[in-house]
Amino acid sequence: MQKIIFEQEGGLVALITPTGDLPFEEVCRKDVPAGAPYLVIDESDVPEDWSFRNAWEADFSNPDGYGIGADAWFAEKAAAEAAAEAEEQTEEVSE
């Protein structure tokens, strides 16, 4: 199973475990803060011993992508839904 990591303020590495409710790439975009680089890692790369969690480091210089954050993600989805509704209404009127 793949997981997502990103660096939080203060240098701590945050770990996201997707639930499967959203496509993986959408989780990356939504749950990683806006502008923050993230890496996709395999579950086997996650340290088993979390007692040294603050010592976990990762190199984000070549990220797999950047988050847009939840606010932007929800705004994007709302705009897409509004556009789809407007298109439906236009089709109904033209029929």
The answer to whether residue 11 is domain-embedded is yes
Q: Give pLDDT tens digits for 13-38.
A: 999 999 999 999 999 999 999 999 99
pTM of the model: 0.84
The answer to whether residue 88 is domain-embedded is no
Tokens of 31: 């749950």
Task: Looking at 1-95, list the stretches that DSSP marks H as alpha helix, in order from N- to C-terminal side.
Answer: 24-31, 69-94
**CA 33 – CA 13 distance, rounded (Å):** 13
pLDDT of residue 69: 97
Mean pLDDT of the chain: 91
Instruction: With a cut of 70, say whether residue 62 has pLDDT above it.
Output: yes
Q: How many domains does the chain have?
A: 1
**CA 64 – CA 81 distance, rounded (Å):** 28
Q: Which domain holds residue 31?
A: 2-69
